[in-house]
């Protein structure tokens, strides 16, 4: 039985097709200004990738993400909090804490042994600690997201960026550049400041190993390293692209709904 999950975020749209217990295909597209268009694009590509003829081959589809209400072909929608937790847990059943850093929000969930969410903390009122923040920083540094993410680029003497607001943090970084600070140290400072934000949220829901990162920003190795240092635990890797964890979770829920009906 084939089911689908579609995670429509602010920066990217993700679609996953599951066949029982394995991922048949997945696809990530850049988001357009219309969530329904993004959803269609992602799902169409996933369907193509699975060698299927059309959407109708899917028994059930669950939509999630900020655009979840606008997934026209979804049978229902589930919050991204539940989906990311389920997805991460399915990908690695040892996971008990999930840190999801998306395009314009970040959240932390604590899970029980079945992947069910126990508690969650969310920051969706400001850009600090989200993909937007990293994009802005990458622009200011002129180094691209790769430059901020790759491990080789992390300085050993991270600059302190104290601004709570990402807009002011940008000015702070410009000042640091003008003062001639080493780029790697600025980069490490940026990742540190996000790690600090996440740290507070993790401690609020309670840190339990294993901890996994999902969402687009989880591919930022520098951030993962900074978070590991701050939390004192390793970030456990997921066997698939962590960015699709939400769509995976959605697909899993779709599977459950399809079986029970």
Site for other proteins, rule CB under 8 A: 66, 78-82, 116-120, 122, 124-125, 162-164, 199-200, 203-204
Q: Is 76 exposed, middle or buried (0-12, 13-18, 19+ CB in 10 A)?
A: middle
The three-state (H, E, C) secondary structure of 11-28, written as one string: CEEEEEEEECCEEEEEEE
Comparison of 75 and 163: residue with beta carbon closer to other proteins: 163
> What minimum distance in Å lies between the beta carbon of 65 and other proteins?
10
Instruction: For residues 168 and 154, give the distance between their C-alpha atoms in angstroms, rounded to a whole number.
Output: 22
In angstroms, give the least distance from the CB of 24 to other proteins. 25
Smallest separation (angstroms) from other proteins to the CB of 45: 26
157 or 162: CB nearest other proteins: 162
- Residue 245 · residue 211 · CB < 8 Å: no
Q: Which is nearer to other proteins, 81 or 223 (CB)?
A: 81
What dihedral do alpha carbons 202, 92, 3, 34 form, nearest 10°?
Answer: 40
Closest CA to 17 of 253, 247, 261, 256: 247
The nearer residue to other proteins, 44 or 76, going by C-beta atoms, is: 76
Strand 117-123 relative to strand 235-236: parallel, antiparallel, unpaired? unpaired
Specify the residue, 25 or 82, whose C-beta has the smaller distance to other proteins: 82
Min CB(116)–other proteins separation in Å: 7
How many helices (H) and strands (E) in the chain?
8, 10
Closest contact distance (angstroms) between CB of 49 and other proteins is 29
């Amino acid at each position: 039985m084939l089911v689908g999950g579609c995670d429509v975020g602010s920066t990217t749209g993700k679609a996953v097709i599951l066949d029982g217990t394995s991922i048949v295909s997945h696809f990530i597209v850049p988001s357009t200004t219309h969530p329904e268009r993004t959803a269609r694009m992602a799902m169409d590509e996933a369907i193509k990738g699975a060698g299927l003829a059309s959407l109708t081959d899917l028994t059930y589809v669950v939509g999630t993400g900020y655009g979840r209400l606008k997934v026209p072909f979804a049978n229902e929608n589930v919050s991204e909090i539940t989906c990311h937790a389920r997805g991460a847990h399915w990908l690695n059943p040892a996971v008990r804490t999930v840190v999801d850093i998306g395009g314009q929000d970040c959240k932390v969930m604590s899970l029980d042994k079945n992947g069910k969410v126990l508690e969650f903390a969310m920051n969706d009122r400001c850009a600090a600690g989200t993909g937007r923040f990293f994009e802005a920083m990458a622009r200011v540094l002129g180094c691209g997201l790769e430059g901020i993410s790759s491990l080789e680029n992390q300085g050993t003497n991270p600059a302190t960026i104290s601004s709570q607001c990402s807009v002011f943090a940008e000015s702070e970084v410009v000042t640091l550049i003008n003062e001639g600070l080493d780029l790697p140290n600025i980069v490490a400072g940026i990742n540190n400041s996000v790690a600090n934000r996440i740290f507070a949220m993790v401690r609020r829901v309670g840190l339990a190993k294993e901890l996994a990162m999902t969402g687009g920003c989880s591919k930022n190795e520098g951030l993962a390293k900074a978070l590991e240092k701050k939390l004192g635990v390793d970030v456990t890797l997921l066997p698939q692209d962590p960015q699709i964890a939400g769509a995976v979770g959605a697909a899993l829920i779709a599977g459950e709904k399809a079986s029970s009906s």
